[in-house]
């Protein structure tokens, strides 16, 4: 499998990343089977695994830790912090208090002495970004992490974080992880160009749009559909848009001699800002169906036809993207001058 350099980290990573979210109680509960799937991915040439503390409440990190024993030095291990790990408001976010605890918990679960890429899972509007960068910088200097990045951060906050690092003399975010697929193309407008300007490595997730592009005959029977069935209803306004586009994309994939999932993965790989595409299989069969997407390079003609089906910068369903709405849009008192 081909490799690319992950932004300014200097780390060489495969064009596909194994996303481990589906290992544990959120997906595949069989630890031995999950470990076999991880080994299968590594044997296929994947050298980077992405997880998070919140996935199955730490169980996912434990599975990854077991799977990489004896191979740790050959791999890039990425995990994330910031989403709630308990009811206590101090068990989340980007404060120094939480980061220094969260990293120790992840190191213990992963059974490793360092994390290669530590990512802030979502923006924290309650904590000054300088506080977060300072804490993460100290973790780099202590050898607990090698580099750090962000996930689902809008373009303006990527820029603010870069400026803050320069002004305060801390290390900076070196990567960004974004949701990106044929059906969720919003990052093309601002996030990807901003990441490119600042030399960030970009990891993307959700190339199958939660199963819409999986080529499954009945979307309602998919694992993810059990959590949000309304998102897979083809009779809703967004569902009708997706169903119509899906029909055209399936025909295009068939004409090009590939499966729809392979087309979807190849599409995400084709963007020049993207370093590596996360694939998140729950089963070995799903992994085997996605791996060939690493060897498919789409022609300009195919990419032009995809653009005609789903225009660049378009999200067919804005609700697909996780809520990162700024507080000022949630709370009226923040946008109304007080008397």
In a domain, 293, yes or no: yes
Look up the CATH number of the domain holding residue 51. Answer: 3.20.20.100
Residue 246 near residue 216 (C-beta atoms within 8 A): no
pLDDT digits (tens, 9 = 90+) for 113-122: 999 999 999 9
Query: How far is the C-alpha of 10 from the C-alpha of 283, rounded, in Å?
Result: 32
pLDDT at 224: 73
Q: How many CA atoms lie within 13 A of 298 on its CB side?
A: 26
In a domain, 212, yes or no: yes
Max mean pLDDT among 144-148, 228-232, 327-331 falls in: 144-148
Residue 94 near residue 149 (C-beta atoms within 8 A): no
Average pLDDT over residues 123-132: 96
Average pLDDT over residues 63-91: 97
**Catalytic residue chosen out of the listed positions 55, 118, 180, 232:** 55
Whether pLDDT at 323 is above 70? no
- Number of folded domains in the chain? 1
Sorted by sequence, the CB contacts under 8 Å of residue 16 that are 6+ apart come out as 1, 46, 265, 269, 276, 277, 278, 279, 290, 291, 293, 294
Average pLDDT over residues 74-81: 98
In a domain, 123, yes or no: yes
303: left (phi over 0), alpha (psi -120 to 50) or beta: alpha
pLDDT digits (tens, 9 = 90+) for 278-294: 999 999 999 999 999 99
Burial class (CB in 10 A: 0-12, 13-18, 19+), 16: buried
**What's the token pair of residue 316?**
């067919």
Band (326; pLDDT cuts 50, 70, 90): confident
Query: Residue-wise over 80-110: b if at least 16 C-beta within 10 A, else e?
Result: bbbbebeeeeeebbbbeebbeebbeebbebb
State which residues form the domain around 136: 3-329
In a domain, 38, yes or no: yes
In a domain, 335, yes or no: no
Where would I find the H helices in 83-128?
A: 96-110
Whether pLDDT at 217 is above 90? no
Band (338; pLDDT cuts 50, 70, 90): confident
55 is catalytic: yes
- Can you name the residues that pair with 120 across neighbouring β-strands? 81, 150
Q: Taking the model in full, what pTM does it have?
A: 0.94
In a domain, 338, yes or no: no
């Amino acid at each position: 499998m081909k490799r690319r350099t992950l932004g300014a980290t200097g780390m060489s990573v495969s064009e596909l990343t194994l996303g481990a979210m589906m290992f544990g109680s959120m997906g595949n509960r069989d630890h031995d089977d999950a470990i076999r799937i991880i080994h299968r991915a590594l044997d296929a040439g994947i050298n980077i695994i992405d997880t998070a503390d919140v996935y199955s409440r730490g169980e996912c990190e434990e599975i990854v830790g077991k799977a990489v024993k004896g191979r740790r030095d050959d791999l890039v291990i990425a995990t994330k912090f910031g989403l709630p790990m308990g009811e206590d408001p101090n068990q989340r976010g980007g404060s120094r208090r939480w980061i220094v605890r969260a990293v120790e918990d992840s190191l213990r679960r992963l059974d490793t002495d360092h994390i290669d890429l530590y990512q802030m899972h979502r923006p924290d509007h309650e904590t000054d970004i300088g506080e977060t960068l300072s804490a993460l910088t100290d973790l780099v200097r202590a050898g607990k992490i090698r580099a750090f990045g962000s996930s689902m951060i809008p373009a303006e906050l990527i820029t603010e974080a870069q400026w803050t690092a320069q002004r305060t003399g801390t290390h900076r975010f070196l990567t960004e992880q974004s949701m990106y697929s044929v059906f969720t193309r919003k990052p093309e407008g601002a996030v990807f160009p901003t990441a490119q300007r600042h030399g960030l490595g970009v990891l993307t997730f959700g190339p199958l749009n939660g199963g819409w592009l999986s080529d499954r005959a009945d979307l309602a029977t998919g694992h993810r559909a059990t959590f949000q069935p309304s998102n897979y209803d083809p009779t809703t306004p967004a569902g009708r848009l997706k169903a119509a586009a899906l029909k055209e994309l399936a025909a295009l994939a068939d004409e090009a001699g590939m499966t729809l999932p392979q087309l979807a993965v190849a599409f995400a790989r084709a963007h020049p800002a993207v370093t590596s595409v996360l694939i998140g299989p729950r089963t070995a069969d799903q992994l085997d169906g996605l791996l060939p997407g690493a060897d498919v390079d789409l022609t300009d003609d195919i990419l032009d036809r995809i653009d005609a089906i789903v225009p660049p910068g378009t999200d067919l369903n804005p609700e697909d993207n996780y809520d990162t709405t700024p507080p000022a849009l949630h709370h009226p008192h923040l946008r109304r001058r007080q008397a």
